[in-house]
Each structure stands twice: as C-alpha cells, then as structure tokens.
Structure 1
C-alpha cells in the first residue's frame, strides 16, 4: 500500500502545536523560537515531510526558477554561458531550466509559451537564427516578467543585451589576415536577420575598406554555419580560385572548411589563411591550430544572471537597465600565420 505524504498537520499533531506555528518554523520566521524551529525540522525529517513548493509559489507569486533559452546546448560557448548563469542563480537560491531551440523559430515560440504556463520568474535568451519578430517574447514581457538577451542582440524597445563588440572583433580579425598578406579574403556569415552576424560582416567589410581592398560579393557566403554549411561553402570558395584568406563567423564552419581544404590538397595557411570565432576547445588542438576570437562566455552568463535576478527582485522589466558590452580577445594561432 502506497504511503501517504507527510503534511504540516502531521507534524503539528506529533508535536502538539498548532499548524500555523509549524508553517512559520519551516519558513524560518523570526516569530518562532529556535527551540521550536529545531523541534519542527527534526520531526519533519523523521516523518519524511517535503515542502509543497507549488503551494508556496502560488502564495508568493514567485517560482524561484529562471529559464535559459539558447540555440544549441552542445556548443561550447553556450554550455560555458550556462555554467556562469547557474553559478550565480544557485548562490541566490534559484533553479535553472535549460531549453534549446535548435535555431528554429517555431520551437522558440513553443518554449516561450511553456515558460509562461510554468510561470518562470525570468528568461535569459539567445534568439534563434529564424527569429525576425518578437511577439512571443513581448507576450512574456507583457506579463511583467523580465528578459535578458545575450550573444545575439535584440532591438526590442527597452531590452537589455549582454554581448561583445562583434564589429570590432571581426574588424581586428580581418585586419590580422591583411597584415599577414591576404588580399582576397572570404567571409562565412550567419543569417543577416541576426544583428550579431550583421555586425561581424560589417566589421569584415570595414577592415577591407580601410585597407583599400575591393569588396567582392562572391566572397561572402551566408548560412547557418553548421559543419555541413562549412563544407558546402568551402567547395564554392575553392571554385573561385583566387581566395587566400577566410574569416568565419564561428569556429564550427571554419574547422569544417579547413578539413575540406586538406582533403583537396589545399594547405592552411600557406594557400589560405583561416580564422574563426568563439574559441571552441577543438580550435586549439586541430592541426593547424585555429586563429579565433575568445569571448568571455562564463562572465557573460554571470552578468546576464545577475542582472536578471536584480530585475526579478526589484519587480522590474528592463526599462532602465543598460546593455553590457564585454571585452573579447583575438587569439592568433597557426592557421593564419603565413610568415
């Protein structure tokens, strides 16, 4: 026969005190003496009592739960951001729900609907590549719930973004290849629906312009920057015959391209210098090692989580919270060194 769960009334009956006192003791109320609290906690353990969080949440209108919505948990950058978020949230007594969209807008919409139903206190999100309108995010904010955006900036009114200066990072990476002697530099870009990838493309274009290198639209390849996309773009790039440098908006596509170049007898960096973005762990151990941009992913997570918790505690929805731009670093490795 299934054992019934112990209740506050069971503790009350066992100790001979009223249930309201038991409830206050379990919630560490200053109105209850330490002796009574200790007795209640000990009896709760003996009876196997579990606090009814749902009932408590309904009373306080808070779940002490936040959600992280991101494209792919498997990407090292995103998993490191999650680690920063969880460290800060855990210290503050909050639970973290992690959801991945796989860069599909419909999944993102369904996730946000579920989070509304489950009444999470706040959301930290990196939007999908398909996200071109924000109605589903506005619906969450309209319920007086805060949202922090990271990595992929959002232009919603009064929204808070945590990211790096993607324009500058791409500019200095492109300029590095130019200083290495590259004159025909291709760019693997992400969807131009996303501000992040527009900034990285614009940084690339600005560096070419500064050094009087003519922009060739055939050198720019837009995709979702998957491994398959990297290979397909590399095939198209080689057909051009003149490219001597490549800037990819992530490491995944850059590494896939390098592997394809190798299979075709194209040497990196002697024939084509390559640089990526994100500093995935594999970028340091492949041969040749990949020049890339290192983003402070853990600090991005901590900053996003800290800001979100401040908004939750102050019952605010971002109206006056400024966006944050963190520093990034160009890590020069063997894939770009021609000399």
Structure 2
C-alpha cells in the first residue's frame, strides 16, 4: 500500500470489496453483513484510517469547525478566553482554529481570509488595535459566516457580542482611588479608536468630575504596554507632574508603571497608588500585589461560543442579535490601599 493517508479505496482494495461497501460498513449500514462490518472496522483501526474531513464538510455543508481571531495569545485575559472557547466547542463536537492578529490589521485581514477558505462554520472575533477598516469582517458576513464579537467590538456591524461594561468598571476603579484619598490620578489609556479604550477613559473622567476634581489632560497618556508605561512614568516624573495614583488600561501597563516608580524610590501605595485591568496571573505576585479588574475571560469565551453555536444551528437566521454584558469585579489588593 502506498504511503500517506489511508482512504476508503485502500480499505476496499485490501479486502477485495467495493468502496461503496466499505463506506456503508463504516457507517454500520443494516444492509451490510456483521462479518463484513467487523472486517472493515478492524482493518480501518489497524491502518489508522481517518475520514476525510474536507470531503465530509463539502458533503454535509458543515465543517464542525469554528475560527477564532484573537489579538494576542500572550495576554492572560485572551488566553483565558481561549480556554472558555475550547471547552465549550470540544463538548459540542467542534474543532477550533485559532488565528492571532498580533494587534496588526494586515494579519487580521489574512486571518479572516484563511478562516473563510477553511470553510469554518462560524467565527469569534476580537479586533486588533490597528483595525479601522472593517470590510474584511463585512466580507465574512456577506459570505453567510456567523460571527460573534468578544471584548472588542465593531461599531456599525450588527452581530452577537459579549462584552463587559468598561465604562462602569473604569468608573469604579477611579472612584476607589478617589475614596482612598487620591486627588491627582493619572490614566494610562488604551487606543481611543478602540471602544474599550474610549469607554475606560470616559469612566475615569466621570469619576474625577463627580468627585469635584480637575480633569488634567496632561495626566491622560496613551500607554497600553509595559514599555510605554515605563516611558510615561518617567515623563511624568521628569516633568515634575503632581500625581498620586495611576489607573492603567491593563495589568502589564500597570506592572511597567510599578517597576519604574519603585526604581525611582517611590513607595507604593504610600506615595503613588496603582491599579491595573484584567486581573492576570501576575497581579497576585507583584510586590505589593496589584489591584485590578477581573474581566472573567473564561466566562466570556464560554458564552461567546455558546452564542455562536446557537447561531450556527439556528434554522431561522432572522432572530435578533444579542449583546451580553458581563459583570467586571474590582479586586482590591496592596497596590492601592
């Protein structure tokens, strides 16, 4: 027998029966004798025969595969989302193709084309920081590929989505700092073209104004990475800006700020309080431990996948799109009290 994947024709040749008989025997068709079924199944197991998934998907018009476009797998939040996605998909008999955009628009476009060519039954999407043109996602919609957005959504594209209330979470973070006696709170913000970045900034501003404090635009800096946080802290300190707290858009940014502040001999939280966002695995092992917001990534991935599978299996594709808003929990630790 030639090397490579074993086919139904290979089994038929070995057993000297027709390929159609082998096919029906593998499906335990009642017209096939028990002896033939036994012989076919035993040979299939011996030769490690696997059904041709591509051929089956073309025949059934379903691949039992879903695609995931994720900005960065290295982030604890997104890796938690993936765990939730895979657990639900696996239990439902679906395979998962994971594509990482690495926060690049071009890669996100390539990801969408790959998933479309792979004939996935549906796609879960969280857009990249760079994405402003959404035509590739509208292309998926135009090709009747169901989509569910999670965390980062697309304005103007109607679809199911799972998010947290970023505005409220940021408001509660800032209010916690205000209630702790902080009056000059810097915000290291995410890109404002992303709704999550805009909503977190807006929540911060509302809490500042509600407390009767000044919104100082010079304390609002777009910094959403470890390195950008280091530069932002050094800039504030070198310019001798008066600030007593930092609310960072994510945990890695907060940790970058923490390390830089500590290297300058400034005590946390006595002199400067710091709060992150996402409650990753590092938040509980920093010194002091990091106050953060738990976004419940696993739950978000699970719910998004359930919504997608429901959309895939629906006979009526006209039922209204759904938005699920999950609660985000403020986890107070040593960096802010």
TM-score (norm: length of structure 1): 0.92
* 2:44 matched residue in structure 1: 44
* 1:301 matched residue in structure 2: 301
Helix, strand or coil: the match of 2:96? strand
Shift, 1:69, TM fit: 1.0
1:55 equivalent to 2:62? Answer no
Shift, 1:124, TM fit: 0.8
Q: 1:64 to 1:29 in 2, by over 3 A?
A: farther
Helix, strand or coil: the match of 1:325? strand
More displaced stretch, 18-27 vs 276-285 = 18-27
Counterpart Cα distance in 2 of 1:55 and 1:84: 29
Shift, 1:131, TM fit: 1.0
Counterpart Cα distance in 2 of 1:248 and 1:316: 43
- Residues 291 and 336 in structure 2, CA contact (< 8 A), matched pair in contact too: yes
More displaced stretch, 292-301 vs 2-11 = 2-11
Counterpart Cα distance in 1 of 2:59 and 2:47: 24
- Residues 22 and 40 in structure 2, CA contact (< 8 A), matched pair in contact too: yes
Can you give the 5+ residue segments of structure 1 that lack an aligned partner in the other structure?
none
Deviation sequence 1:298-329 (CA, Å, 0-9, x none): 11111111111121222676862301111111
Counterpart Cα distance in 1 of 2:255 and 2:15: 66
Counterpart Cα distance in 2 of 1:97 and 1:39: 35
In the TM superposition, 1:141-180 aligns within 5 A as 141-180=141-180
Deviation sequence 1:139-188 (CA, Å, 0-9, x none): 11110001111111222332121111111111111000001000111101
* 1:228 matched residue in structure 2: 227
Q: Tell me the matched-pair count.
A: 336
Counterpart Cα distance in 2 of 1:25 and 1:162: 44
* 2:268 matched residue in structure 1: 268
Counterpart Cα distance in 2 of 1:10 and 1:131: 48
Counterpart Cα distance in 2 of 1:34 and 1:2: 28
Q: 1:33 to 1:163 in 2, by over 3 A?
A: farther
* 1:114 matched residue in structure 2: 114
Helix, strand or coil: the match of 1:283? coil
* 1:74 matched residue in structure 2: 74
CA RMSD, 1 decimal: 2.2
Counterpart Cα distance in 2 of 1:4 and 1:215: 67
Q: 1:35 to 1:167 in 2, by over 3 A?
A: farther
Shift, 1:207, TM fit: 0.6
Q: 1:4 to 1:244 in 2, by over 3 A?
A: closer
In the TM superposition, 1:23-34 aligns within 5 A as 23-27=23-27
- Residues 293 and 329 in structure 1, CA contact (< 8 A), matched pair in contact too: yes
Counterpart Cα distance in 1 of 2:274 and 2:250: 11
- Residues 7 and 49 in structure 1, CA contact (< 8 A), matched pair in contact too: yes
- Residues 65 and 121 in structure 2, CA contact (< 8 A), matched pair in contact too: yes
TM-score (norm: length of structure 2): 0.93
More displaced stretch, 15-24 vs 302-311 = 15-24
Can you give the 5+ residue segments of structure 2 that lack an aligned partner in the other structure?
none
Counterpart Cα distance in 2 of 1:245 and 1:35: 77
Helix, strand or coil: the match of 2:45? helix
